[in-house]
Amino acid sequence: MKKLSPMAGWLALATGFIALFIYIVLPDLKTVSASLAVVCLINAIFFGVAEGPQLKQSLSSRSALYGANTLILTVVFLGILVFANLLAFRHKHRFDFTEGGYFTLAPQTKKFISNLPREVKLTAFFQTESAEKIAFTNLIASYLEETDKIELQYIDPDKNPAVTKQYGVTTYGTIALESGTKETKIQNASEENITNALLKVTRDEQKVIYFLEGHDESKISSNENEGYATAKKNLEQDGFIVKPLLLLQSGEVPKDASVLVIPGPKKPIQDEEKAILENYLNSGGAVFMLIDPKSSSGMEAFLKKWGIELGDNIVIDPMSKLFGGDFAAPVVKQYTVHEITSNFVLATIFPIIRSVHGVPAAGITTTELLKTSANSWAESDFVSGTVDYDEGKDIKGPVSVSVIAVKNLDETSPENSTPPKSDTEPNKNKPSATLLVVGDSDFSNNRYTNFSGNGDFFLNAISWLAEEDQLISIRPKERKNTPVQITQSMGSAIFVTGIFVFPGLIAGMGIRIWWRRRRL
């Protein structure tokens, strides 16, 4: 029995470690791990019975006490590590130290994902352990932290050809999204594409945005600098349907219109068209009007009835020079508190813009949304070419360049009516007409829409007018490239320091220590 006890002890240790390894790595082999655990227990009992007196004597020695103390400290340390890991597992948080938060989801995405209306099944077709799969896994982890309504499944097309064929996938890196009766696929797994795909499969209704044509406006089909093709593409990526509209041809604003955009008319809008616009607004419509300086649209009197006054001027801002712009291209960083500009920290740059002010009008609530800096002014004498501020003639800054007008259409029982929550927010429970006017249309064309916050403001404004509040936020940031510029003298200094100075100091210290010891 004494001869077999050491073998039983070693066998107990071996089978115990093997059982634990199989239980962790191969959880499906529960029978094997359980059998090995039984063998480990039997051998341990045999070893304990055979070596009982010797074990008792050994455990009472001083070395055993020190060993027990070390074991207890080790167990406590491991317990702290396990507890810390449990906390990290239950309270996940990722830190992003990149400039601009490149690996952080955009506020727009977070706002939408946290309010997903229903479950979404997401099937990702990647080769096992491919670089594309790892990048996608890191990205989708941010989505899974925001919601529990996304079901994620990975499929290796090489190992599961039947499932791959069932989904009609022919390219590695394809992601299929399904929700209810809707489904879509994307191949470039970027945040923008994933969010837009989620919008497509969870939105039951696609709202239509119409762009007015027929007055030499910027066209949504044009890829020229003055065109709106980029704006159209961005709206479609947000899940909207974008169409052109000729009022004189249609005779009315279509019933499916969520927002009508008038992007910088250069020719007069006819009286018949103004009547159509008036009827559309009074039936609860939303209009986004962009009127350039020196425009011949003839909309001044129409807008005056809606509490909006267009200035016959151009806004001048000397501070724009500090941003590398032109004094006639004001940079707007002053925003009125509103849903459109909530958490909006980017500046909007307007190539050339006129003043737009709110004026009293019966039944109309106006809000001046955008204002230029205090150093700016609205120059009325722009024909002479002088740009000096004239007291009493020009408008001193801050100058309003955008106004929202809201008209409550439910006036049947004023005593029982609930007023808007604030001057900047219409009561969404009542039918209302909404008109947003900006004194420039160039800021959102193909040339300028990607400047600073221009495109974000344009998209946020349309999302708010269309009552798609989950789309209102800052769009995802692009990865910044900020290389360090080193001159030739700096490069030489770094080279000499790294090759000669530091190694020389270490060698000198070594020689000094060697010399001192040599003299002992």
Cβ neighbours around 344 below 10 Å, total: 19
**DSSP per-residue codes, 359-401:** ---TTEEEEEEEE--TT-EEES--SS------TTTSEESS-EE
Going edge to edge, which strands form the sheet with 314-316? Answer: 314-316, 377-379, 395-396
Domains (range + CATH), the chain: 4-90 (no CATH), 107-200 (3.40.30.10), 206-469 (3.40.50.880)
Q: Is 259 helix (H, G, I), strand (E, B) or coil?
A: strand
Structure token pair of residue 114: 């946290």
Per-residue burial over 134-170, b = 16 or more CB atoms within 10 Å of its CB, e = otherwise: eebeeebebbbebbebbebeebbbeeeeeebeebebe
Distance of CA 64 to the CA centre of its chain: 60
User: Coil, strand or helix: which one is 315?
Assistant: strand
Q: Which residues contact 496 (CB under 8 A, 6 or more apart)?
A: none
More confident residue, 89 or 74: 74
Asked whether the predicted pLDDT for residue 37 surpasses 60, the reply is yes
Phi first, then psi, for residue 188 (nearest 5°) are -100, 105
CA-wise closest residue to 328 among 308, 312, 345, 349:
349
* CA distances for 468 relative to 69, 309, 384, 416, 465, angstroms: 64, 28, 45, 28, 8
Check pLDDT > 90 for residue 266.
yes
Over 142-201, what HEC string results?
Answer: HHHHHCCCEEEEEECCCCCHHHHHHCCCCCCCEEEEEECCEEEEECCCCHHHHHHHHHHH
pTM comes to 0.64
Distances in Å between the Cα of 426 and the Cα atoms of 108, 119, 279, 467 are: 22, 31, 19, 11
Segment among 230-244, 308-322, 389-403 with least mean pLDDT? 308-322
- Give CA–CA dist 418/426, Å, rounded: 11
Give how far Cα 48 sits from Cα of 5, 13, 42, Å: 8, 13, 10
Measure the CA–CA gap between 66 and 328, rounded to whole angstroms.
Answer: 82
- Count CA within 13 A, CB hemisphere, residue 315: 36
Least confident range of 55-64, 227-236, 409-418, 452-461: 409-418
Q: By mean pLDDT, which of 20-34, 151-165, 354-368 is the weakest? A: 20-34
Is residue 371 scored above 70 in pLDDT? yes
Indicate if the pLDDT at residue 209 is higher than 60: yes
Mean pLDDT of the chain: 85
> Whose structure tokens read 């762009």?
211
- Is the pLDDT score of 422 beyond 50? no
How much is the pLDDT for 473? Answer: 60
Quote the CA–CA distance of 121 and 106 in Å, as a whole number: 22
Q: What percent of the chain has pLDDT over 90?
A: 41
d(CA 296, CA 327): 24
First to last CA, the chain: 62
Provide mean pLDDT across the span 159-186. Answer: 91
- pLDDT reading at 420 higher than 60: no
Q: Percentage of the chain surpassing pLDDT 70? A: 86
Q: Phi/psi zone of residue 363: left (φ > 0), alpha (ψ -120 to 50 degrees), beta?
A: left
Count of CB atoms within 10 A of residue 121's CB?
14
